[in-house]
């Protein structure tokens, strides 16, 4: 497996762009909690070593890299709520979160590298979609780390308010424990009602 590098960014800097942001989201698959996106502009001369797809890193390593990114890079995080996921759909909601994260970057980026195969509607900045971007671009990998760290911490907080679902360990993903708790404890305000396992429990009567 290749590890991400700075080649995509380097090519854009060579074309005259100055602030290239990597953008990624996390949390499209869970049954509960918001979808979270991050946007990261690395300093070309000084960025943390070991940036990689957040799913390939331990929680401890992600935490350390998250701190390093906040110290060395421009970082913004945004989310789309469960209500927005249910109103639109998960893809559109994840794009809303991405657009918000980009808008929150200061100073603003002049080019975006976006994980996936689609560029979200509503972005006014030149952009390139990068399939499996978190394995190719260190900027996108950085965004995946920041977004995952932020969302995991949020789900730990929500787990304390709603014990039994295992969110502190499963981050809202549909593990066996989470699905059993849904059946036994019912649906919380943080569950995505448009997602089939939740929808089926609400309407099984």
Tell me the CATH architecture of domain 7-151: 2-Layer Sandwich (3.30)
Neighbours of 64 (CB within 10 A): 16
Sequence-distant (6+) residues with CB within 8 A of 71 are none
| Binned average pLDDT, 10 residues per bin, the chain of 205 residues | 90 98 98 98 95 94 97 98 98 98 97 97 95 97 98 98 97 96 96 95 77
Q: pLDDT value at position 36?
A: 98
CB 84 within 8 A of CB 93: yes
C-alpha dist (Å) from residue 99 to 12, 24, 25, 40, 192: 20, 10, 11, 13, 21
Length of the chain in residues, anyone? 205
Structure confidence at residue 144 (pLDDT): 97
Q: What pLDDT, on a 0 to 100 scale, did the predictor assign at position 203? A: 85
Which pLDDT score, from 0 to 100, does residue 1 have? 55
Directed axis angle between helix 138-161 and helix 59-72, to 10°? 120
Q: Which residues contact 205 (CB under 8 A, 6 or more apart)?
A: none
């Amino acid at each position: 497996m290749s590890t991400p590098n700075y080649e995509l960014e380097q090519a854009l800097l060579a074309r005259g762009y100055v602030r290239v942001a990597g953008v990624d989201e996390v949390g499209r698959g869970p049954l509960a909690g918001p979808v979270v996106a991050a946007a990261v502009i690395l300093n070309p001369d000084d960025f943390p070593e070991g940036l990689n797809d957040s799913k390939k890193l331990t929680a401890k390593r992600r935490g350390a890299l998250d701190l390093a990114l906040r110290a060395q890079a421009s970082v913004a995080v945004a989310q789309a709520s469960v209500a927005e996921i249910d109103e639109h759909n998960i893809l559109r909601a994840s794009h809303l979160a991405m657009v918000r994260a980009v808008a929150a970057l200061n100073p603003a980026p002049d080019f975006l590298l976006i994980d996936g195969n689609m560029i979200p509607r509503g972005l006014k900045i030149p952009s390139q979609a990068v399939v499996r971007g978190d394995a190719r671009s260190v900027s996108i990998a950085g965004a995946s780390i920041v977004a995952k760290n932020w969302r995991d911490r949020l789900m730990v907080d929500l787990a304390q308010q709603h014990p039994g679902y295992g969110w502190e360990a499963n981050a809202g993903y549909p593990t066996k424990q989470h699905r059993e708790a849904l059946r036994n404890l019912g649906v919380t305000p943080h569950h995505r009602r448009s997602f089939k396992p939740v929808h089926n429990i609400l309407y099984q009567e």
